[in-house]
Chain A
């Protein structure tokens, strides 16, 4: 038991976020009389929040460098609008449109990155300008109107499911069940491998039974999710996209030189420069990447609405930024994890969803989300202060 307490104390920031999420989920499960975890609602949670999670992942890198990007909501709308014009007006194929949309996102991100990193224009002004420019151009392109509908295959990105819905065990979608099990197995293998490596190199590892509990908890969470989804329509395609992105960016931030340079830039730009980090280039690439992620989110949003609208993506940048901060990223840079941002995004998502089910009005929803953001950051600052004085 002492070991368990020590484990939680040593990882209070990571575990704190997860515990907060679990707490909020349980709270709303009770308050909504069990509606929160109904299969259809779990499915909705995934589909509703996919875009925020994608944006939060990209925004996280920006925030680690100690900056923010206010333009992503407008880029979401802009990319949606361009895609709509390409497909609906010009009849260009879905595949080509998707590639073009991502290239446009990269170009937009590169534009912001170039101004910020190389021309040293303050990031706040640059991305505020971007926010206005891309929103404005969206309205120009759409002439203030909504453009729809899209091809089914385009909608599938945001609202489609893995095929094989008719294969069922009892009431459950077999593919989803297998997917959950496969994911669990991959996860267990990865964890055990990492543990074995650590032991082989003679490093400290957490006690075996705590590791076992941790694995059990996560495997349970994975299968709870896939079971619910199996009970409904199966695995949403956007969930696979999300899992891919989270794995990829976790790898980038944890294991690559580029990732380490991003943290170094945010931690101390001058020292990073004197250690051979090409700080301008890193900053440029981070903004470029964020443009691509915004474009991806733009495609998902357009696909889910089955329309491009001038008002798409309003305030999305704020949701993404809030997710990162709730997830433990530091406003001064140098700190933050992809998983943290995802957990932060889920906290916001569950709050939104739960309060909507309860019929809490939008104004109160905003207020409560704001309070949660402040509480999360307050908790973070307190633990950090305590660590510093230790």
Chain B
């Protein structure tokens, strides 16, 4: 057996009572590419954050052995000193600084605080050579593409004499050619003695370059596969990733699907900053009365972008396509119009896009409905309180009173306040984006009950979720979204974690070819 460079043993990490990682172990050998795979929320990032010192020693249980010595990292700087460098999905580069400046950011080539620019540029050039990036070190980061930025990140890691490189979804934003180049680079680095841990959803890439694959699921270690010994085939890995019994965590509902209420055709949207980048590509789907429709997909698949752009064009630019409500084409050009036509959107990020944290529950619930509570622009304060109180009770928001500020509520109750706002608008179509993210199991059940009740009242519900079991438990139909397109649709009977993953993987290949 080759030398073991990293051995993580019995890692357990809790977030306010919820176990994100439970007795996980990870053994990485010298000079290998070790893939770490698992569903969204399985705990991959948490594990890597522990390794890189983001969660410092003492906030977790278990031990980390690096080259046989136990480590207790107090922060990122600490782990970097030991040769561990993590490259996050969201690149940590400053767009207005040059490539060279970014490579040595925080590690400036300086003598007594004064930067030696010649040395900086020269060394940056050498590092760019190593990663095979043919760019002038003085070029601004903002002027090169994401793929090249990724290479700069790696050059930055190499400048710190990295032993163990961790890459979190490095190819998520790259096209096929860029991905290939990056993967080749990793193989090249391996030959030069740099060990990599690769987190990726693209199992075909993993299959191609990994020496070992460690699978974690629901915060628990499942298995480690070795090249040459085990089957690396996608199907095999997917089964390992999702193989979980679905228990009865969802309230029962009568599935009475009525007439179509919401239809989208040829919906195409471009990125808000880069006008040539298509984010939503020719999407079409339908929702019927009484139906809960799911959007499954990986992170960055474009689900949120679809929902937000449909809701009064709140995302992107150059929207095209048609939206029908009850068979009639409607122009939802602004949020106002969307609300008027009975559409509501509950954002995945309630603190940024949903709540007014410093304001009270009443003001939060009533904001989208002030027109109905007022005459000639003047609000009837009593009516407002009565109505807000009504929705507070309907959703059983646990609070001291309507006057409590929202920032002091728990995540689940905050989510109920957001839902209350949109229920008060009496919508017919609800677009719910990750409605149960970051809330505890009990509150989740309550939210599911509310969703079922809405469906039984004849409303159409679209539910976006990264938790596959949740979609399988709640939805009548599931659309699989990938690369900004609808990759496929599954009826309730046909939907399973495997079938969804299969569609994504197949579609990924067509994207690559196209």
Residues of chain A having any CB pair with chain B under 8 Å: 197-198, 200-201, 203-204, 254-258, 260-261, 263-264, 267-268, 270-278, 330, 334-335, 387-388, 390
Contact = CB atoms under 8 A, between A and B. Distances in A.
14 contacts: A200-B382, A255-B379, A255-B381, A256-B378, A257-B370, A260-B370, A260-B379, A263-B356, A263-B363, A271-B353, A276-B338, A334-B356, A388-B407, A388-B408
Contact of A257 (B311, B335, B379, B385): B379
A274 B357 contact: no
A201 to B, nearest CB: 5
Contact of B352 (A197, A270, A276): A270
Nearest to B383: A201
The 4 closest A-B pairs by CB, nearest first: A267-B356, A275-B368, A276-B335, A257-B370
Contacts, number: 86
Interface of B: 311-312, 314, 334-336, 338-339, 345, 347, 352-359, 363, 366-368, 370-371, 374, 377-379, 381-382, 385-386, 401, 405, 407-408, 421
**Chain B contact residues, majority secondary structure:** mixed
A373 to B, nearest CB: 21
B334 to A, nearest CB: 8
Determine which residue in A198, A268, A274, A275 has the highest number of CB atoms from chain B within 10 A of its CB, and name it: A275
Contact of B353 (A264, A274, A276, A388): A274
Contacts of B356: 263-264, 267-268, 271-272, 334
B359 A263 contact: yes
Determine which residue in A258, A270, A273, A274 has the highest number of CB atoms from chain B within 10 A of its CB, and name it: A274
A268 B357 contact: yes
A24 B355 CA distance: 38
A197 B379 contact: no
B345 A255 contact: no
Contacts of A274: 311, 314, 335, 345, 347, 353-354
Nearest to A202: B386
A89 B462 CA distance: 69
Contact of A260 (B353, B363, B421): B363
Given A255-B381, A278-B336, A272 B367 contact: yes
Given A200-B382, A261-B370, 16 more contacts: A201-B385, A254-B381, A255-B381, A257-B374, A257-B377, A260-B366, A264-B363, A267-B356, A272-B356, A274-B311, A275-B367, A278-B336, A334-B358, A387-B405, A387-B408, A388-B407
B435 to A, nearest CB: 15
Contacts of B335: 273-276
Contacts of B336: 276, 278
B373 to A, nearest CB: 9
Given A260-B379, A276-B339, A270 B370 contact: no
Given A257-B371, A260-B370, A275-B367, A267 B353 contact: no
Contacts of B371: 257
Contact of B408 (A261, A273, A330, A390): A390
A200 to B, nearest CB: 8
A157 to B, nearest CB: 29
Contacts of B407: 388
A330 B359 CA distance: 13
A267 B382 contact: no
A387 B374 CA distance: 31
